[in-house]
Amino acid sequence: MPEALVIAPQWIGDAVMTEPLLRRLHARGERLAVGALPWVAPVYRAMPQVDEVIEFPFQHGGLQFKARRSLAQQIEGRFDTAYVLPNSLKSALLPFLASIPRRIGYLGEARVGLLTHRLKNPKGKPPMVAFYSALSGETGFEADRPQLSLPGAEVEAALQSLGLQRGGYHVFAPGAEYGPAKRWPTAHFAELARALTLPVVLLGSGKEAALCEEISAAAPGRCLNLAGKTSLVEALAAIAAASSVVSNDSGLMHVAAAFGVPQVAVFGSSSPLHTPPLSERATVLWLKNDPAYQPPLDCAPCFERECPLGHTRCLNDITAARVLQNL
């Protein structure tokens, strides 16, 4: 069986979007080992087609050549093919140093000498599933949707640890690391929490704990703030067992879609044409494509971290009542 090393992207949402590619590679008989940074490794353990996850000892940023060379020496001779999913130069360095014969990726950051098979960088912002799946060399992946799966016992253990019951709560993921132009207002999240019958679990990183605390304080007795208090495995389990999920365009939005949980995804400065939640149970709210919204949002999508015009209408004008109607 051919052995392949997949170099994973560093963000949770991007990691989820790579699942259809891995499913295709597995289906044609490739044994898959995924090399991933620790904070995204649990996503790949929720993909049954992945045989092994190698957690990289690298830090965010920097070339860290010695660490890459050391790991390359450990894996040299193991793999026939490497699929390099990120576009950075450093991500292509490990397969090159490990002398993996076939090294496939996009041209990216001047990686001509590091890759043996190079795809041209696409223009604009193509759908991410198609972007990654093209590395398989196959076609017809437009309908592919990411899928994640956790063993039932693992989910139940996480729920017990968090004091949750399957289907007995909603999940809000109000963060978006990119910036405030992707975050639905906390006041809207709080209003929605007050209107729901079931309690709300707030999920996010430690950086988003204060943001979640604003929502919790504005909806007394309605929210359990677990931002920064769960492992990623526990967060995945909490999402998989939720009654529904409400989020911005974020990594946890893609997790909810891949688990097939009913969800509402609120888009602001970014575009669902590029990074949609790929699930039949997902509803996208984006004022750019709403003909009833006047005056039209000619400024969207701007892909800026903060609203260049200072009004952030694309998010402020999506009401809690409208989200509630779609849950």
Domains identified in the chain and CATH numbers: 3-136 (3.40.50.2000), 152-325 (3.40.50.2000)
Q: How high does pLDDT run on average in the chain?
A: 94
pLDDT digits 0-9 by tens, 143-153: 899 999 999 99
pLDDT digits 0-9 by tens, 96-116: 999 999 999 999 877 888 999
For 277, other C-beta atoms within 10 Å of its C-beta total 27
Reported as half-sphere exposure (CB side, CA atoms, 13 A), residue 278 has a value of: 23
In one-letter notation, the amino acid at residue 167 is: G
Q: Cβ neighbours of residue 98 under 8 Å, at least 6 residues apart?
A: 5, 71, 72, 73, 75, 76, 78, 79, 82
Average pLDDT over residues 162-166: 97
Residues linked to residue 224 through DSSP beta bridges, in sequence order: 201
In degrees and rounded to multiples of 5, residue 266 shows phi and psi of: -100, 120
Angle of helix 152-162 relative to helix 232-240, nearest 10 degrees, comes to 100
In degrees and rounded to multiples of 5, residue 89 shows phi and psi of: -65, -45
pLDDT digits 0-9 by tens, 170-205: 999 998 777 788 899 999 999 999 999 999 999 999
In degrees and rounded to multiples of 5, residue 119 shows phi and psi of: -95, 145
DSSP states of 175-239: --TT-GGG---HHHHHHHHHH-SS-EEE---GGGHHHHHHHHHHSTTTEEE-TTTS-HHHHHHHH
DSSP states of 273-315: TTS----TTEEEE-GGG-TTSSS--TT-----SS-TTS--HHH
Three-state DSSP state, 320: helix
pLDDT band at 24 (very low <50, low <70, confident <90, very high): very high
pLDDT band at 207 (very low <50, low <70, confident <90, very high): very high
pLDDT attached to residue 119: 93
